[in-house]
Amino acid sequence: MRKLSALMTMALAMGGMGMPNSLDGGEFIPTETDTERSKRLAIAEIERNKANGLKEFKYGYGKVYAINQKNADKKAKKLGYI
């Protein structure tokens, strides 16, 4: 029993070393800018659409992802591309 309590005490002492916690009062500093974040999310959306089997249809003002041309035309009209 003594060995177990000694090991538990050591694990608790080592667990708190070097690890920041919410009680430190430190603030979160973002590492990416807003433009980098928007680019990353746009790329992720394109990959997600292609993974779901959607095709890319290009219009004068932008791109639309849809199953077929008919649905793409509806979406483009709704977005104001047509």
In a domain, 38, yes or no: no
pLDDT at 76 over 70: yes
Residue 61 lies in a domain: yes
Residue 20, amino acid: P
CA 60-57-41 angle, to 5 degrees, is 95
Tell me the pairing of strands 63-66 and 55-58: antiparallel
Q: 76 lies in a domain?
A: yes
- pLDDT at residue 67 greater than cutoff 60: yes
Residue 64 forms part of a structural domain = yes
Q: What pLDDT is attached to residue 63?
A: 92
H or E element, residue 9: helix 2-15
Distance from C-alpha of 70 to C-alpha of 78, rounded to nearest angstrom: 13
pLDDT tens-digit readout, 20-58: 555 566 677 778 888 999 999 999 999 999 999 999 999
Residues in the chain: 82
- What percent of the chain shows pLDDT beyond 90? 52
Instruction: Flag whether 46 is in a domain.
Output: no
Sign of CA dihedral 40, 46, 48, 50: negative
Q: Answer whether residue 67 is part of any domain.
A: yes
Q: Residue 33 domain-assigned?
A: no
76 lies in which domain range?
53-82
pLDDT of residue 7: 72
User: How many domains are contained in the chain?
Assistant: 1
Is residue 25 one of the residues assigned to a domain? no
